[in-house]
Structure 1
Amino acid sequence: MIEATGLTKRYGAKTAVYNLSFQVRSGAVTGFLGPNGSGKSTTMRMILGLDDPSAGRVTIGGQPYRQLTNAPRRVGALLDAKAVHGGRSARQHLLCLAQLSGIPARRVDEVLGVVGLQDVASRRSKGFSLGMGQRLGIAGALLGDPEVLLFDEPVNGLDPEGILWVRNLMRKLASEGRTVFVSSHLMSEMALTADHLIVIGRGQLLADMSVKDFIARNSTAHATVRTPDDAGMREKLSKALSEAGGLVQPEQDGALRVTGLELPRISDLAHEIDVRLWELSPHQASLEEAYMRMTSGAVDYRSTQDPRQGLQQPAPHPQQGYQQAGYPPQGQYPQGGYPPAGYQQQAPAGWGQPPVQQAPQQQYAQPPAQPYAQPYGQQPAGPPPQPYAATTAAPAQPPVAPVAPVAPAPPAAPAAPPVVPPTAPSLNKSDSEDAR
């Protein structure tokens, strides 16, 4: 059993844990909940003797952790799955822990099989994924077959199969009479795994009770009532339920949310006023709803709405593909919703060039918009082609002069003939004599 009495921890001017008292009983899975920065990790470090409390004390089986005989065989813990030498394999890491605690080497292969890492036992841990690192950390906690186990976020990085495995492992360990203390932010997992809850906020105790009692005390049950799609029947039933002392709130899907009346009473009232019911179901709040309601005043980090939300970049032009930042939002351009001709001069080199011709029979279609005052390129003659698609057509006819056409690029200069270096003239015998 773990027992904390008046536990307090200060770091300079900041108080991480203040006057915290609780008990973690054996034979059950105790969930340790709280918002980020509430002091959960600090509390678990003080339980394991890694941090000294500023006031109060915490004991395991009546003794502080540092006074336990052969503590690794009595207490197993996973606080940081990354606390592994990356150059060591999984087997070497566990073998080091076993030798330091006097645990037989054969236990290493046993726990590797328990956590499912027997096939990668010889691989270096620096190549492990987050989930594999979590499994290795759990193996280290189970190495000494301890009676007390502490886990900080044990399912972080695990896939659904791994989460189910951890859930079953926790419950199996608790059924053997061990003390299991688990910190997690996954409310859905705590609802399925934990038997008891300890909830803290800003370093102080908020709740110490069973999961069932925690949900009942921090939530309000209500009934969902649905009538035929007739506004008259809904209003008639709402009036009767309100007069009977119930709180009626309409839902967006047409149902009624009724609080303060039991289901049999709602059914009797509907029968008395001759209103048919299509649905009458109870709703019990989840652990997440109850947790959010209790800790709403103890959250230090709250998100706000992004002030730039909705100010995304305008859609690119269908032909030119403009993506340069700084254009005004689409719809503010004077012509058809696209940038005017002046933007073409501001674009980087190569952006304003016409598309490369794919084949003699290929021609680019123009978007179904009104004619541009300053078109981006040569417009083909004839009927407008299909929007935003390349079409195969007969050889293009001579184009009709468009409005303000863009001058075509000057033709490339013909390649210059290769320069042949001069060679020395060949001299016969007579020429050589004259040359002398």
Structure 2
Amino acid sequence: MIEAVGLTKRYGDKTAVYNLSFQVRPGTVTGFLGPNGSGKSTTMRMILGLDNPTSGRVTIGGYPYRKLPNAARQVGALIDAKAVHGGRAARNHLLCLAQLSGIPARRVDEVLGVVGLQDVARKRSKGFSLGMGQRLGIAAALLGDPQVLLFDEPVNGLDPEGILWVRNLMKALAAEGRTVFVSSHLMSEMALTADHLIVIGRGQLLADMSIQDFIAANSAGFARVRTPDTEPQLREKLSAAITEAGGHVLPEQDGALRVTGLALPRISDIAHDTDVRLWELSPHQASLEEAYMRMTQGSVDYRSTIDQKAGLMQPLPPGAQPPMPVPGQGQPGWYAPPPPQQGGQPFAGPQAQVQTGPYGGPGAGMPHPYAQAGPAASQGQAQPPVQAPAAPPSDAPPAQAPPGGALPAAPVPQPQASAPATPTQPEDVR
């Protein structure tokens, strides 16, 4: 069992972990969750004796890690799968660890078979993929057949088959009575693997409970009710009856009703009493990801500055509905394209504007995007400025192409002669 009491870690004036207390019990898979920078890795390093706590204590089986006799045979850990000498073969890497801990060499071949690396055991680890490196790290953690195991992001880089294998491995280890402590950012995978959750935010404990209790405490289940689409008046009748009975009704976009505050049997009785046929009456429970986002939304230190422009919003409160889109109205935070300018070219400014290069600097000799290619100018020869021709009378014959077949560039409309042309400022980057 792992036990932390009043665990605190400070780096100068920054507090990474503050007064953290929890227990990781044997026989269960305990998930360790928290936003980036919340102190998960620091906590694991203090458990393994890699960092000294500023105050408080953490023990494994009643002893600090450094005082455990032959700790490598009692505790296995995967903290950084890249901490391997790239020039060593996978088998040699594990043999070195086994010799340091007094583990028989035959155990190396056993764990290589467990993690599926027996065919590449003599290949250098620097040629391993990310997933193969994770498997090698898991093999190192299992090498001493320990009773306590810590894994930091064990499924990182694994394919779906590998993720399923890790999930079954964690459950099998816990079923043998071992203590399994797993940190992960994949909420969907944690929901299928962990039995208990420890959630921290900004170095402090936010939750220590089973997954079922965590989801129930941080989300609101609801009943989805659907009536025949051809009878909207019955839907309104049922909605009024449910509201009168103390329930809360929110319409969904597909015409169904989201009901909270009443159990499914009570909703069924109300529908029967009001003579309303039901096409659907089903319970819905929020996912672990939704509950986690709601719990930790105030503990996120690293949030994108473009969240508002991208239309990203915080999780809705329990039972709330997202706002319906308004026809003809853009999403909040997005910017409409600029209106077309004179001349029919939507993003081309007047020719007097200084053209710029692809990264905003002055461009050299950049052609007009709508001008046809003409004869190449001689290098070093000055070209006369192009004058805008006078407008021909309405009864004038159409212009003929000059000899050679090349047409001159289309003139850009100029402002009226009464007002001098003003250079247009470049648009702001949108």
Please confirm whether the aligned pair reaches a TM-score higher than 0.5, indicating the same fold.
Answer: yes
Distance change >3 Å, CA 332–CA 226, structure 1 → 2: farther
Residue matched to 2:98: 98
CA distance in 1 between partners of 2:14 and 2:400 (Å): 73
Aligned residues: CA RMSD? 2.9
Residue matched to 2:56: 56
Note the 1:373-388 alignment, pairs <5 A.
none
Deviations 1:20-53 (A, max 9, x none): 1111111111111111111111100000000000
CA distance in 2 between partners of 1:100 and 1:336 (Å): 73
SS at match of 1:242: helix
Correspondence 1:163 to 2:163: yes
SS at match of 1:198: strand
CA contact (8 A) 1:2 1:61 kept: yes
Note the 1:224-243 alignment, pairs <5 A.
224-229=224-229, 230-243=231-244
Residue matched to 1:263: 264
Q: Which amino acid aligns with 2:195?
A: D
What percentage of aligned pairs have identical amino acids?
Answer: 77
SS at match of 2:26: coil
Partner residue of 1:335 out of 330, 344, 351 = 344
CA distance in 2 between partners of 1:54 and 1:406 (Å): 88
Deviations 1:317-342 (A, max 9, x none): xxxxxxxxxxx968435236585995
Deviations 1:383-402 (A, max 9, x none): xxxxxxxxxxxxxxxxx976
CA distance in 1 between partners of 2:86 and 2:45 (Å): 23
Residue matched to 2:246: 245
CA contact (8 A) 2:341 2:349 kept: no
Q: Which amino acid aligns with 1:335?
A: G
CA contact (8 A) 1:4 1:22 kept: yes
SS at match of 1:298: coil
Distance change >3 Å, CA 185–CA 309, structure 1 → 2: closer
Distance change >3 Å, CA 28–CA 338, structure 1 → 2: closer
Which runs of 5 or more residues in structure 1 are unaligned?
A: 311-327, 356-372, 375-399, 411-436
Distance change >3 Å, CA 87–CA 402, structure 1 → 2: farther
Residue matched to 1:272: 273
Deviations 1:127-164 (A, max 9, x none): 21111111111011011111110000100111100100
Deviations 1:289-338 (A, max 9, x none): 2111211211112224368879xxxxxxxxxxxxxxxxx96843523658
CA contact (8 A) 1:334 1:340 kept: no
CA distance in 2 between partners of 1:146 and 1:272 (Å): 61
CA contact (8 A) 1:333 1:339 kept: no
Report deviation, 1:120: 1.4
SS at match of 1:219: coil
CA distance in 1 between partners of 2:222 and 2:307 (Å): 34
CA distance in 1 between partners of 2:284 and 2:30 (Å): 26
Q: Which amino acid aligns with 2:276?
A: V
Residue matched to 2:222: 222
Residue matched to 2:417: none
Q: Which amino acid aligns with 2:80?
A: D
Correspondence 1:127 to 2:136: no
CA distance in 2 between partners of 1:79 and 1:54 (Å): 21
Instruction: Report runs of 4+ in structure 1 exceeding 3 Å deviation.
Output: 304-310, 328-333, 336-343, 345-355, 400-410
CA distance in 2 between partners of 1:291 and 1:24 (Å): 20
Q: Which amino acid aligns with 2:269?
A: D
Note the 1:12-161 alignment, pairs <5 A.
12-161=12-161
Distance change >3 Å, CA 236–CA 401, structure 1 → 2: same
Report deviation, 1:403: 6.9
CA contact (8 A) 1:34 1:295 kept: yes
Report deviation, 1:216: 1.6
CA distance in 1 between partners of 2:101 and 2:128 (Å): 25
Deviations 1:70-122 (A, max 9, x none): 11111000001111111111112111111111112221121111111111122
Note the 1:167-316 alignment, pairs <5 A.
167-229=167-229, 230-305=231-306
SS at match of 2:42: helix
CA distance in 2 between partners of 1:236 and 1:76 (Å): 62
Range with greater deviation from structure 2 (56-65 or 203-212): 203-212
CA distance in 2 between partners of 1:406 and 1:304 (Å): 58
CA contact (8 A) 1:147 1:178 kept: yes
Note the 1:381-420 alignment, pairs <5 A.
408=405
SS at match of 2:43: helix
Q: Which amino acid aligns with 2:29?
A: V
CA distance in 2 between partners of 1:17 and 1:203 (Å): 4
Q: Which amino acid aligns with 2:120?
A: V
CA distance in 2 between partners of 1:240 and 1:267 (Å): 12
Q: Which amino acid aligns with 1:348?
A: M
Distance change >3 Å, CA 309–CA 142, structure 1 → 2: closer
Q: Which amino acid aligns with 1:66?
A: R
Q: Output the TM-score relative to the length of structure 2.
A: 0.75
CA distance in 2 between partners of 1:266 and 1:197 (Å): 33
Q: Which amino acid aligns with 1:116?
A: G
Report deviation, 1:348: 3.4
